[in-house]
Amino acid sequence: MQQSIYIVLENGQVFEGESFGASGETVGEIVFTTGMTGYLETLTDPSYYGQMVVQTFPLIGNYGIIPADFESSSPHVKAYIVREWCESPSNFRSEGELDPFLKMNNIVGVCGIDTRELTRIIREVGVMNAKITTTIDNLDETLAEIKNYRIINAVESVCTGEISVAGGLPGGYRVVLWDFGAKENIRRELLKRGCKVITVPAFTTAQEIVDLKPDGIMLSNGPGDPADNTEIINEMAQLTDSGIPIFGICLGHQLLALAQGAKTAKLKYGHRGANQPVQDLQTGRVYITSQNHGYAVVADSLPAQAALRFINANDGTCEGIEYHNMPAFSIQFHPEASAGPLDTSYLFDQFIDLMRKEHSTCR
C-alpha cells in the first residue's frame, strides 16, 4: 500500500496523493509541462533545477528508463508529480522502471492526484512555490517555509566544472559550448555536423574563450533567473567585438540579450512542453517547438542593434533575436528538441553557415 502524501501550494491549497519514488519532503517551485512523450528528457534537463515538475499527460513511465535519451547524467528536478506511473513498461530499449529510478536519484514522486486541476490552478494563479510533505498538521509553518523558498546558485549547481573536448571531423569547425546547464542533445547536434565541441564551465571568462580560438560560440540553456548571473553577463558583453559567431539557446538567449542591454521578465506560468507555436517574423511561417522556460526577454527593451526575429504565436512574447553589431542570433525555444519536434533543427545549419561565412571573410 502506497503512503499518503500532500502537495501544499503557496496559495494554501492542498492536494492529497500517493508517494512513489524516494520518500521524504521537499520544497520547490511548481511548474507543469505539456509533453506527451519525453519524460526522460524532462527529468534529466538541467533547466528544471529547483523545480517540481507536473506532467499534464496522465500516464508516465510506459517506455521505461533509457539512459541513451538522458539530457544529463542525472535528474535535476526537486520532485516529480504525475497522474499515474506505469509499473510495467514495454520498450525494447528500456533498462529500468520509473519508480526505482527516482528512488536511486533521491527524487520525491507524487501520483494519484488530479494533475488537470493542479495545472489549471498554476495557469490561473501563476507559477508558485510548493511543498511535498507527509503531514499538514502545521500548515502555517509549512506555508511560511514555502514562501521563503527561492532558487539560488542555479547555474553553478548544474554546469560542468572542467573543460572537455569531443568530436571533430576534418574540415569541421571548433565550437565552444558555454555550459550554463547544457542539454546533451545540443552537443549531439554539433557533433553530428562535424564540429569539435569544447565545453567550458559557466564562469569561464570571455578572454579564456577567445584564447581557445573557436570558430563559433554556443550559449547553452540552463536554470534560474537569467538576471541573477551578473558575472556571466558582464563577460558575455565583452565578446561583442570578438567577431566570433554566436548562437544562443534558451538561457543563453536571455543572457546575450541582457549583455546587450535588454531586460528579462518572469512569465505567469512559463512555456514548457513540445507543442509551443513560434512564428518567424521574416517569413510568416509558424513552427511547433519544444520549450522549457519561465522567463522571457522583454521585446520592447531590445536595443537598436537587435531585431526581434521570432515570437510565440500564443502570447506574442520574444522567441528569437538577430544582432546587427556582431555575427550572432539567439532563440528562446529548443532546436535540438529531444524528444521532438524537429521543425527548427535547421538553425544549427544556420549557425554552421554563419561560421563558414565569417571564416571565409577572415581569409
| 334 tagged catalytic | yes
Q: Is the pLDDT of residue 359 over 80?
A: no
Note whether 27 and 126 are same-domain residues: yes
Residue 260 exposure: Cα atoms within 13 Å on the Cβ side: 29
The pLDDT > 70 percentage for the chain reads: 99
pLDDT the model gives residue 1 = 52
Domain end point (choices 85, 120, 151): 151
Note whether 317 and 343 are same-domain residues: yes
Number of Cβ atoms within 10 Å of the Cβ of 320? 24
Dist CA 226 CA 222 (whole Å): 9
Reported confidence tier of residue 361, pLDDT bands at 50, 70, 90: low
Note whether 176 and 308 are same-domain residues: yes
Domain end point (choices 132, 151, 170): 151
- Least Cα distance to 332 among 261, 267, 278, 266 occurs for 278
- Least Cα distance to 297 among 275, 267, 325, 273 occurs for 267
Range of the domain at 138: 4-151
Q: List, for residues 341-353, the tens digit of each pLDDT value.
A: 899 999 999 999 9
Note whether 219 and 116 are same-domain residues: no
Note whether 139 and 20 are same-domain residues: yes
Q: Is the pLDDT of residue 278 over 50?
A: yes
Cell of 150: 527561492
Domain end point (choices 133, 151, 169): 151
Q: Is the pLDDT of residue 363 over 50?
A: no
| 250 tagged catalytic | yes
Note whether 143 and 194 are same-domain residues: no
Note whether 177 and 239 are same-domain residues: yes
Note whether 23 and 131 are same-domain residues: yes
Note whether 144 and 178 are same-domain residues: no
Catalytic residue among 111, 159, 195, 250: 250
Note whether 271 and 189 are same-domain residues: yes
Dist CA 320 CA 286 (whole Å): 13
- Could you tell me whether strands 51-55 and 26-33 are parallel, antiparallel, or unpaired per DSSP bridges? parallel
For the chain, the three-class secondary structure string (H helix, E strand, C coil) is: CCCEEEEEECCCCEEEEEEEEECCCEEEEEEEECCCCCHHHHHHCHHHCCEEEEECCCEECCCCCCHHHCCCCCCCCCEEECCEECCCCCCCCCCCCHHHHHHHCCCEEEECCCHHHHHHHHHHHCCEEEEEECCCCCHHHHHHHHHCCCCCCHHHHHCCCCCEEEECCCCCCEEEEECCCCCHHHHHHHHHCCCEEEEECCCCCHHHHHHCCCCEEEECCCCCCHHHCHHHHHHHHCCHHHCCCEEEECHHHHHHHHHCCCCEEEEEEEEEEEEEEEEECCCCCEEEEEEEEEEEECHHHCCCCEEEEEEECCCCCEEEEEECCCCEEEECCECCCCCCCCCCCHHHHHHHHHHHHHHHHHC
Note whether 139 and 216 are same-domain residues: no
Q: List, for residues 299-356, the tens digit of each pLDDT value.
A: 999 999 999 999 999 999 999 999 999 999 999 999 998 777 899 999 999 999 999 9
Q: List, for residues 93-118, the tens digit of each pLDDT value.
A: 999 999 999 999 999 999 999 999 99
Note whether 262 and 170 are same-domain residues: yes
Q: What is the CATH number of the domain that holds 201?
A: 3.40.50.880
pLDDT the model gives residue 319 = 98
Number of Cβ atoms within 10 Å of the Cβ of 123? 12
> How many independent structural domains does the chain possess?
2
* 300 φ/ψ angles, rounded to the nearest 5 degrees: -70, -10
Q: What is Dmax (Cα atoms) for the chain?
A: 71
Q: What is the CATH number of the domain that holds 144?
A: 3.50.30.20
Cell of 324: 546587427
Q: Give the long-range contacts of residues 13-16, CB within 8 A, separation 24 or more.
A: 13/121, 14/136, 14/139, 15/110, 15/113, 15/114, 15/117, 15/118, 16/113
| 189 tagged catalytic | no
